[in-house]
Amino acid sequence: MSTAEAKTIQSESVRKHKEFLFPAVATYYQEPLALVRGEGFHVWDDQDNKYLDCFGGVLTVSVGHANPKINQAIIEQLNRITHTSTLYANKPQSDLAEKLHQITPGKLKKSFFTNSGTEADDTAVHAAKTATGRHEIVVLRHSYSGRSASSLSAMGHAPWRPLPAQVAGFVHAHAPYCYRCPFKLTYPECGIACADDIEELIMTTTTGEIAAFMAEPILGVGGFVVPPPGYFERVAEITRKHGGLFIADEVQTAWGRTGEKWFGIEHWDVEPDIITSAKGLANGLPIGVTIATPEVADKYPGMTFSTFGGNAVTTTAALAVLKLIEDENLKQNAAEVGGYLREKLEGLKDKYSVIGDVRGLGLMQGIELVKDRETKEPAPQAVGTVFEETKKRRVLIGKGGLYGNVIRTGLMLNSTKDHVDELIAALDAGFAAV
């Protein structure tokens, strides 16, 4: 395709996006990008501009665009059999479920596959309710769970909610957001007051007995908020005292993203009863999974079904991703390259006062921007400037946070320190322009 033809397609793609999609399907950048190709760490727009992709379509392209090993497995499976439905067993689905049992912590053993994080979280909520016979769930403010009625009710973000909560029974605890502590305290003198507060929340806003506590180990859409040491251990204790199960929403934090461990929750000493995930598991193919202990899974009543859940092609891709992560030591790589990235981001923080906080684990690092370090007034406009400047330097980043003032980076798990240097140079120029 000639560049002239490509340019026509670009304006057409963006124009049609604006004309024919719901306006709520917002795009990044003043001049939205239409991406046409990806290879490894890079993507190309339809003007033939090449970008270093430091967000991976929201932490979803985990091991590189068009990764030859993953694609080969996908193509072979496509030619073998694409779809069976769960009415028949299929080898990749069974093998993936077994593999997930092997790599998940504690007693987690049985999986239910779907197509998205939303469905994975919904399944977890239903499973917790049916297993316990209780109906109330403690979730966190600043959390994100997806787009179903249940997930929208669970999540802790007004900007993502088109309607008031449609499903009763979710109560929202204060987030363990140390940079903006809801109790205006400082760790560790705070004694993790936000965790202790959950007991009062349960005793004052529920029947006193809950089905579950559900949280992301790192609040992703919320701006990569990392709870302090000891937080989840204390919350698990309170949850179990009130009859609840512990659900870790690992849609963003699983598959080595946080470094060294398969799952984010493994950075705390907690054994979840249910883990949900999606995004990076199949390197961009749609997949969701809810993994539960036999005690929980065996109580899920009646029949259940997901047409595309456990699809032979997506589960094949997932198996190939997990094998690659193991073969290439990518959990360690995420820790090492993530550590290097963190060091460089701290350097930028020393240089630019607009950076209020740098936080994250492994290759999940965020930068919170503020107008003033004392007042911590959010600076979403500064994020806009950094976005435009980094785009000019052909580097793609992400954003998040309730106030839209957090830059999120999600480099691929097989990234190198050279990629970090390129990202840092672009960010440096971006902050200089603020």
Ligand X SMILES: Cc1ncc(COP(=O)(O)O)c(C=O)c1O
Residue ranges that bind ligand X, judged by CB under 6 A: 58, 116-118, 121, 144-146, 216, 220-221, 249, 251-252, 278
Considering Cα of 200, then 205, then 211, then 212, what sign does the dihedral take?
negative
d(CA 354, CA 28): 21
Give the nearest distance from C-beta 55 to ligand X in angstroms: 12
Widest CA span of the chain, in angstroms?
66
Give the nearest distance from C-beta 394 to ligand X in angstroms: 25
d(CA 214, CA 120): 12
Contact (CB, 8 A) for 54 and 410: yes
Q: Between residues 157 and 342, which has the closer beta carbon with respect to ligand X?
A: 157
Q: Between residues 249 and 266, which has the closer beta carbon with respect to ligand X?
A: 249
Q: Between residues 400 and 430, which has the closer beta carbon with respect to ligand X?
A: 400
d(CA 320, CA 312): 12
Give the nearest distance from C-beta 253 to ligand X in angstroms: 8
Which helix or strand (DSSP H or E) is residue 213 part of? strand 212-215
Residue 311: alpha-carbon gap to chain centroid? 22
Read off the tokens for 412: 């691929």
Residue 326: is it exposed, middle or buried by C-beta count within 10 angstroms (0-12/13-18/19+)? middle
The CB-nearest residue to ligand X is 117
Give the nearest distance from C-beta 347 to ligand X in angstroms: 28
Give the nearest distance from C-beta 115 to ligand X in angstroms: 8
Q: Between residues 146 and 356, which has the closer beta carbon with respect to ligand X?
A: 146
Contact (CB, 8 A) for 63 and 330: yes
Q: Between residues 148 and 385, which has the closer beta carbon with respect to ligand X?
A: 148
Give the nearest distance from C-beta 224 to ligand X in angstroms: 11
Which residues neighbour 22 within 8 Å (Cβ) at sequence distance 6 or greater? none
* Cα–Cα distance list, 52 to 38, 42, 73, 334 (Å): 10, 5, 25, 17
Give the nearest distance from C-beta 245 to ligand X in angstroms: 17
Q: Between residues 249 and 368, which has the closer beta carbon with respect to ligand X?
A: 249
Give the nearest distance from C-beta 370 to ligand X in angstroms: 24
Q: Between residues 252 and 315, which has the closer beta carbon with respect to ligand X?
A: 252
Read off the tokens for 50: 């090449």
Q: Between residues 69 and 147, which has the closer beta carbon with respect to ligand X?
A: 147
Give the nearest distance from C-beta 268 to ligand X in angstroms: 16
* Cα–Cα distance list, 139 to 15, 168, 251, 320 (Å): 39, 13, 15, 33
Q: Between residues 216 and 266, which has the closer beta carbon with respect to ligand X?
A: 216
Give the nearest distance from C-beta 60 to ligand X in angstroms: 8
First to last CA, the chain: 38
Q: Between residues 144 and 255, which has the closer beta carbon with respect to ligand X?
A: 144
d(CA 72, CA 162): 40
Number of residues in the chain: 434
- Show the DSSP H helices in 81-148 as ranges: 91-103, 117-132
Q: Between residues 223 and 259, which has the closer beta carbon with respect to ligand X?
A: 223
Q: Strands of 35-39's sheet, edge to edge?
A: 35-39, 42-45, 50-53, 395-396
Give the nearest distance from C-beta 121 to ligand X in angstroms: 5
